[in-house]
Structure 1
């Protein structure tokens, strides 16, 4: 599960990086076409970089905190979950199976008389 969460996080960071690159390219194209000045382009690029850095840092922090909250299940946790769902234990199942087999033998014996 942790690997899947890491993949999701990396995909999100990758998407953000891709968006940042495309935004930078758009700024460069606007400067090239003369729609904004070189100075405005530099300012816009710096603002994009700051926003990207801030958002990825904040997102990474949140995800890291969530990873730290995840703890592996202990044997006691598993036992508690199984009892909560009233799962039959193997020894109980084996006992019931043996009882059914004995009852079947008795029924077969009675039917053959």
Structure 2
């Protein structure tokens, strides 16, 4: 299970890192185009949102692809770990409500 937990962490960090890097780079490119007057600020905002959405979709697809390659045992362990995390989150939310 520890091996799976470590792989899940790596997968999530990879996805987050890829999304953050892509979003940051696209924002820099769009800001540069706005400065050069090649696109308007509004066009830049729309383009940036579209690029973020596409990057997010690619990361989601990559993560799904990785999960699909897990063995049945690894998927079951992942389900158990996610259920555990959900339970911990619910407990934390209840504590905050009190």
Output aligned runs, 1:23-34, within 5 Å.
23-34=26-37
What corresponds to 2:46 in structure 1?
A: 43
TM-score between both structures, scaled by the size of structure 2 = 0.54
Q: Compare relative contact order (CA 8 Å, sep 6+) and give the higher one, 1 or 2.
A: 2
The number of residues matched between the two structures is 71
TM-score between both structures, scaled by the size of structure 1 = 0.48
Task: Measure, in 2, the Cα distance between the counterparts of 1:34 and 1:15.
Answer: 29
The reply on whether 1:66 has 2:69 as its aligned counterpart is yes
What corresponds to 1:17 in structure 2?
A: 20
**Gaps (5+ residues) in structure 1?**
73-113
**Gaps (5+ residues) in structure 2?**
75-98
Structure 1, 57-66 or 44-53: larger mean CA deviation:
57-66
CA deviation profile, 1:33-68 (whole Å, cap 9, x unmatched): 32221232122112201201211221222223334x
Task: Note closer, same or farther for the CA distance 1:15–1:53 as it changes in structure 2 (3 Å cut).
Answer: closer
Task: Measure, in 1, the Cα distance between the counterparts of 2:66 and 2:49.
Answer: 25
The answer to whether the 8 A contact 2:18-2:59 is kept is no
CA deviation profile, 1:3-36 (whole Å, cap 9, x unmatched): 4433442343113321221211221232133222
Task: Measure, in 2, the Cα distance between the counterparts of 1:2 and 1:52.
Answer: 26
Q: Post-superposition, which runs of at least 4 consecutive aligned residues in structure 1 deviate over 4 A?
A: none
Could you say which structure has the higher helix fraction? 2
